């Protein structure tokens, strides 16, 4: 499956990307990702779209961007009408045959992308700064801890996502998955958010 026996041992994606776990070790206890599911008991209505494994983990001499992560999850938050992005790192225990084991993946950072930034991304803006939309800013703890999110298109057409200090480079079909997620959010996603708003009134 991998070009090397341990694809996570010598990853060059910055100081955090390759050293987050010992090769073959489990994710640290208490750091398993808080992934949303599509169940109704959650605080928010989240539609999981893509869980993407960085293809560079399968390449022996891949060129990693600084602090690039092994995994990204793309989800749509129906309540707020935004695309949620979560960047994570993996170990050999994160994949078992055809299974992605979320309890063996460490969530590093998450952020949100609102329609204005999604529209810029779809329109191929070379750099997109994703402004968080807060109606009533009061300096609450959660408001001061929001990770900055941005997208940068490289000279070869790849799209680099930055969430806080972490990054993920979307290439080939994964770039198309990102753009599809943005288009879905702007089309069907807005319909779902509108219907959700009507139901709550």
- Per-domain boundaries in the chain: 14-200
Say whether pLDDT at 18 is over 60: no
pTM of the model: 0.79
Q: Look-up: residue for tokens 């010598």?
A: 10
Give the CA radius of gyration of the chain. 17
pLDDT computed for residue 42 by the predictor: 62
Cα gap 71→53, rounded to integer Å: 5
Cα gap 122→105, rounded to integer Å: 29
Question: Using an 8 Å Cβ cutoff, are 132 and 116 in contact?
Answer: no
Other Cβ atoms less than 10 A from the Cβ of 10: the count is: 11
3-state secondary structure 83-134: EEEEEEECCHHHEECCEECHHHCEEEEEEEECHHHHHHHHCCCCEEEECCCC
Higher pLDDT, 117 or 200: 117
Question: Using an 8 Å Cβ cutoff, are 170 and 178 in contact?
Answer: yes
Strand partners, 100: 95
CATH of region 14-200, choose from 2.30.31, 3.40.30, 3.30.450, 2.60.40: 2.30.31
pLDDT computed for residue 49 by the predictor: 96
pLDDT (tens digit per residue) in 145-196: 899 999 999 999 999 999 999 999 999 999 999 999 999 999 999 999 999 9
**Residue 28, exposed/middle/buried by CB under 10 A (0-12, 13-18, 19+)?**
exposed
pLDDT computed for residue 7 by the predictor: 47
């Amino acid at each position: 499956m991998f070009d090397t026996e341990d694809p996570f041992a010598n990853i060059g994606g910055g100081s955090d990307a390759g050293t987050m776990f010992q090769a073959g070790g489990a994710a640290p206890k208490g750091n398993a990702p808080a992934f949303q599911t599509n169940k109704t008991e959650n605080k928010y209505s989240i539609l999981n779209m893509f869980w993407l494994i960085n293809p560079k983990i399968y390449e022996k001499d891949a060129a990693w961007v600084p602090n690039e992560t092994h995994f990204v999850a793309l989800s749509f938050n129906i309540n707020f009408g935004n695309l949620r992005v979560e960047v994570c790192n993996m170990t050999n225990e994160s994949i078992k045959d055809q299974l992605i084991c979320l309890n063996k993946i460490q969530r590093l950072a998450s952020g949100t992308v609102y329609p204005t930034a999604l529209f810029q991304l779809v329109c191929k803006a070379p750099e997109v700064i994703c402004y968080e939309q807060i109606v009533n800013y009061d300096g609450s703890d959660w408001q001061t801890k929001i990770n900055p999110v941005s997208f940068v298109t490289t000279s070869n057409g790849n799209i680099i996502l930055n969430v806080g200090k972490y990054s993920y480079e979307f290439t080939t079909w994964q770039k198309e998955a990102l753009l599809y997620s943005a288009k879905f959010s702007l089309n069907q996603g807005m319909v779902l958010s509108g219907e959700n708003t009507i139901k709550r009134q």
